[in-house]
């Protein structure tokens, strides 16, 4: 096979219900020479079979089956297999809109000082409702990554909407296994130390929000590891090594050990957030999500008020 210009890397774990839409959104991209590397990270549903069937029909799709290792290690393996000059991320369950790969690849090719580029993202509710868009265009993204404070740092709108130079990725050390979550922030900060990180204003990526997603189930760990990534960046930017921080092997609680009550609380907050996004544009759907929030947490007074009074 000829060496592709772009390697799209994705990990999937039990994503059969939405997998085909994601595969279709990448394999239908035009005017860009790419390969699509998907790591089946120990799925127990039909994800593996779907991937093999699609790979049999399209040689650009390369499937790696492995035991479950978690997102970070799956991405490390997928990126290690990448042959393209550029690596694009894609998350299972999300959709890349037409022209995404072409636009990002063209920008990186024409601007070699830029190490990472990210499109604007439209966030979608569990039922397919349009919720909101996040746009960080031009050097707004670069400035956001320079804010080394966990409360103020602003990276790309979504992990899956990014594309970066493979050479810069390797030089930065790639994804690091020490970050089971917030691996994206850690990588973005190290790429920003090599060159420019630019945002593109066009919406080319649809990200679906789900109550049971990794980011929502592990919110405390996300915050803690983001802080760790920022502290590592501060050391590096003073000319010091961050190895001592990583070697400390700070342990955080596993999100899967949360009490059911805590999980219900997080789900209730998620449904309330979705309802709040829809309250003015789609009040019928909003009321349904307020009801879902109350199902998770019956004494959620704000949700109860909105459910009753709108």
pLDDT in tens, 104-129: 999 999 999 999 999 999 999 999 99
Q: Is the pLDDT of residue 100 over 60?
A: yes
Q: Is the pLDDT of residue 246 over 60?
A: yes
Instruction: Give the tens place of pLDDT for each residue, 6-26.
Output: 999 999 999 999 999 999 999
Contact (CB, 8 A) for 161 and 202: no
The pLDDT of residue 194 is: 96
Among 86-90, 164-168, 185-189, 283-287, the minimum mean pLDDT is found in: 283-287
Instruction: Give the tens place of pLDDT for each residue, 146-204.
Output: 999 999 999 999 999 999 999 999 999 999 999 999 999 999 999 999 999 999 999 99
Q: Which residue has the tokens 């069937």?
A: 53
Cα–Cα distance list, 40 to 16, 60, 116 (Å): 11, 16, 25
Mean pLDDT, rounded, of the chain? 92
**Nearest by Cα to 275 from 265, 285, 262:** 285
Q: Is the pLDDT of residue 216 over 90?
A: no
Q: How far is CA 180 from the centre of its chain?
A: 13
User: pLDDT band at residue 211, thresholds of 50, 70 and 90?
Assistant: confident
User: pLDDT band at residue 130, thresholds of 50, 70 and 90?
Assistant: very high
Q: Is the pLDDT of residue 259 over 90?
A: no
| Phi/psi at 162 (5° precision) | -100, 155
C-alpha span between 294 and 302 (Å, rounded): 10
b/e map 75-85, b = 16+ CB within 10 Å: bbbbbeebbbb
The pLDDT of residue 220 is: 76
């Amino acid at each position: 096979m000829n060496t592709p210009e772009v390697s799209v890397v994705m990990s999937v774990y039990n994503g059969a219900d939405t997998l085909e839409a994601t595969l279709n959104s990448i394999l239908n991209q035009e005017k860009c020479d790419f390969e699509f590397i998907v790591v089946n990270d120990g799925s127990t549903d039909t994800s593996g079979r779907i991937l093999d069937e699609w790979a049999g029909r399209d040689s650009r799709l390369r499937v790696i089956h492995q035991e479950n290792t978690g997102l970070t290690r799956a991405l490390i393996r997928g990126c290690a297999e990448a042959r393209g000059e550029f690596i694009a991320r894609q998350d299972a369950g999300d959709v890349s809109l037409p022209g995404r790969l072409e636009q990002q690849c063209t920008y990186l090719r024409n601007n070699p000082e830029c190490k990472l580029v990210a499109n604007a993202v439209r966030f979608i509710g569990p039922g397919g409702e349009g919720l909101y868009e996040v746009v960080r265009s031009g050097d707004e993204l670069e400035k956001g990554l320079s804010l080394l404070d966990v409360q103020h740092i602003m990276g790309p709108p979504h992990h899956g909407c990014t594309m970066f130079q493979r050479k810069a990725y390797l030089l930065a050390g790639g994804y690091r296994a020490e970050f089971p979550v917030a691996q994206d922030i850690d990588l973005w900060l190290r790429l920003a130390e090599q060159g420019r990180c630019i945002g593109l204003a066009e919406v080319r990526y649809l990200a679906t929000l789900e109550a049971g997603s990794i980011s929502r189930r592990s919110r405390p760990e996300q915050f803690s590891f983001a802080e760790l990534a920022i502290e590592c960046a501060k050391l590096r930017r003073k000319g010091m090594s961050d190895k001592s921080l990583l070697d400390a092997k700070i342990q955080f609680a596993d999100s899967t050990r949360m009490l059911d009550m805590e999980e219900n609380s997080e789900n209730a907050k998620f449904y309330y957030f979705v309802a709040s996004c829809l309250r003015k544009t789609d009040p019928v759907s909003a009321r349904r999500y307020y009801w879902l929030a109350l199902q998770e947490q019956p004494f959620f007074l704000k949700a109860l008020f909105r459910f009753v009074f709108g």
